[in-house]
Chain A
Amino acid sequence: MRIFDPHIHMTSRTTDDYEAMFSAGVRALVEPSFWLGQPRTSVASFTDYFDSLIGWERFRAAQFGIRHHCTIGLNPKEANDPRCREVLDVLPRYLAKDGVVAVGELGYDSMTPEEDEVFARQLTLAVEHELPALVHTPHRDKLVGTKRTLDVVHESGIDPGRVIVDHLNEPTVAVVADSGCWMGFSIYPDTKMDEQRMVAILKEYGTDRMIVNSAADWGRSDPLKTYKTGLAMLDAGFTESDVDKVLWQNPVDFYAQSDRLVLDELPGFAPSAETFAGNSVLRGGGNT
């Protein structure tokens, strides 16, 4: 099974996770920029974070044979903080970078006027930079938030085929299916979606424009949920080719619209233990 995890926050994960993901077949991923749990208070902590997404984390993933890409954007939660909104001015610099395959995560948290403005402005940036957009749907008041999200997408003029609407579930999938946007599902241990419900949705709606991710982060989550969904699909009678479409081809097709996906196997990839002299990942140790 080859797997492209189109939404996973590796900054919050361990090297064990990278190893387990590689063993399960993950060869490429997208790490959307998002909220870090602890609120930020200045633009500088955003730029350090963005630098890490296009630098250190990409390097770290490469040590485990995984191609790392990211999305860059101001998340809706922090769009409400005026100290953070200034980050919008430096986004264009980052949207020009290699491996930045979309603007995101965008969308709504509490559906405030500030969120409206920041969301619309970043969709405009996506159009200007010829990038797709990754839009998440709110945790609370989800169906209303999803509909409002689709309205904003429509008004922005961005091609719905270049937008993925993420964290969908049974009540929200139909409206997004009708919109022409891609449909993203985050498979979680006990919130959002699980493997069995995901299989049921795939049976009902088919596999076109369907994208499955683990959305693993610092919360209770599982970076192998993509793999486990693939197994559940096979158990339910889907073919290997169906699984490949949902876990690889669809996310690749979506993010390839950025023209910035790099999917060649990493040259000379070997497990890190030897390369790095018995250290875990290049921590530096006593001499640095």
Chain B
Amino acid sequence: MTGFRLGYGTNGFANHRLDDALRVIADLGYTSVALTLDHNHLDPYAPDVSKQVDHVANQLDGLGLRCVVETGARYLLDPDRKHYPTLVCEEPERRIDFLTRAVRIAAGLGADCVSFWSGIRPEHVPPDTAWRRMRVGVSEVLEEATALNVPLGLEPEPGMFVEHLSDALRLREELGAPELLGITLDVGHCVAVEPEDAATCIRRTGALLVNVQLDDMRTGVHEHLEFGEGELDLPATLAALSEVGYTGVAAVELPRHSHAAPEVAGRALAALHAALVPPNQETTDGADLEWVSDVDHPWLVEAEQRVRRNPAAIGTLFPAVGRKVGRAPLRPEADQQGLVHGTVDDLARIRLLAVLSEVLDPALLSGEVAQLYRYGDDAERRGVLRGLAVLPAATVPTGLELVKDALRANDIRLVAAAMGDFAARHLDAHSWRHGVLKCLFVGVPLAAVSDVDGRTDEELLRMVADYADERRAAGRDVPADAVKLLEAS
């Protein structure tokens, strides 16, 4: 069982040396890369290009990155005209030459495919002519691709001649449905210009999908945005990739964010992890599991299936989570200990609890959750606390007992996990205030506490003010979060 591989596009690291970009991308936790050939990133016209290809292939291998080759460089072929020449302009030869070079480089790198687009149709070129040029150009590149067995991915691109998925599919049909001609789909483009949403486009493309670009966009606006800034339904999109059995590269495409590449890439991966939902699987027959994505953690997907088949299995799976999927904080750049956003294993345990709540009778669910906490180590207890918010209402009384137990602990990770959405919604005012004060006291950032603005009341402010006085009286600093809370009131 193989799943798709989350990656990042090097065109979003244009201000990094290629070696550095690859290392940063791998260090963040991505397992693939979309490599845009450009003047400073594996220039196909460099005299020592074959040596460079060997070098990059070794780098990719060493970092465990899979790769696709992208050909969207802006000024690689013509320093004056962006993206020129294209396949549909008067003199497409240099574009065709470039694409065949890209195919050879992809073969040398062991890349999954070469991705390309049509280019903008110049106003004076009639559509018929442009269409014919596409057919001729693509056929020519396909010859090299066939010789070297490298798949091509035609990408519909807003504003270009082949703009919609339906155009790309039609061209492919007209060329006789060549096996090596597939589709590259940018899910943001689907939001911007497709008549259907990204998940539907993915289903429509199905097995023809050879490369996926991930980004957010708004309807009608071709601007690559970070996840959450546009209208893309990311969880549904990723679920659709799993559903169609996509096993290739799915790389974040943010070509205008190079100025802050590492931070942006870190945020993107956190958003992707948060959006990865368990596949909504109807059958439990092993033979039907082929399409299930392992995304980053094949173990987790299997664990979810086991809990679905046999809810009691969670007792042995829950303690093993950290060993299997890792323990890193989800947003290490801002939250080194995972106090605010949690950790990878927290997220995995929340997903297991969500599955458990679907398959277990609510009456039994409370008991099982209490047992997982009672016999859990620090990490398991954290997972239960963070998972309470996804459980049905019948478990609220049990959840409250567990939250209160955790708030008696002095392990700051438990205290932080206890003060999330569940506590914000259900914990009584007195306990909640004491929870906030405890966070200030033991050094849990208030960012870890849900709905501070909504639940802060006069009594809490009095308590925090007294605490601040006590600190000052002792000649100690007042925690910045306490000052902020008092100033905001």
Contact = CB atoms under 8 A, between A and B. Distances in A.
Q: Do chains A and B stick together as partners?
A: yes
B379 A98 contact: yes
B443 A277 contact: yes
Contacts of A276: 442-443
Nearest to B316: A96
B337 A98 contact: no
Given A97-B319, A98-B319, A282-B412, A287 B381 contact: no
A191 interface: no
Nearest to A63: B412
Interface in A243-275: 259-260, 262, 267-268, 275
Nearest to B345: A98
A59 B378 contact: yes
Contacts of B442: 276-277, 282, 284
Given A276-B443, A277-B443, A287-B438, A55 B319 contact: no
Nearest to B479: A277
A95 to B, nearest CB: 9
Nearest to A94: B375
- Which among A276, A278, A282 has the highest number of chain B CB atoms within 10 Å? A282
A93 interface: yes
Contact of A54 (B378, B408, B412, B441): B378
Contacts of B474: 278
Interface in A73-116: 93-94, 96-99
Contact of B336 (A93, A97, A99, A267): A267
B410 A55 contact: no
Given A55-B411, A56-B411, A259-B323, A277 B377 contact: no
Interface in A170-199: none
A14 B69 CA distance: 57
Contact of B377 (A99, A282, A284): A99
Nearest to B411: A59
Contact of B441 (A99, A268, A277): A277
A59 B323 CA distance: 18
A75 B223 CA distance: 66
A288 interface: yes
Nearest to A286: B470
Given A96-B316, A282-B412, A260 B323 contact: yes
A114 to B, nearest CB: 26
Most chain B CB atoms below 10 A, which of A56, A262, A277, A283: A277
Contact of B381 (A55, A98, A284): A55
Nearest to B443: A275
A96 B438 contact: no
B447 interface: no
Nearest to B466: A287
Nearest to B377: A54
Nearest to A264: B327
Nearest to B327: A262
Contacts of A281: 410
A157 interface: no
A285 interface: yes
Nearest to A287: B441
B291 interface: no
B437 interface: yes
A268 B476 contact: no
A55 B376 CA distance: 9
Nearest to B318: A96
B300 to A, nearest CB: 16
B148 interface: no
Contacts of A56: 378, 409-411
A209 interface: no
Interface string B410-453: 11110000000000000000000000011001110000000000
Contacts of A167: none
29 contacts: A54-B378, A55-B377, A55-B378, A56-B409, A56-B410, A56-B411, A58-B377, A58-B378, A59-B413, A93-B375, A97-B377, A98-B320, A259-B323, A260-B323, A267-B332, A268-B337, A276-B443, A277-B441, A277-B442, A277-B476, A278-B474, A282-B410, A282-B412, A282-B442, A284-B410, A284-B441, A285-B441, A287-B438, A287-B441
Interface of A: 51, 54-56, 58-59, 93-94, 96-99, 259-260, 262, 267-268, 275-278, 281-285, 287-288
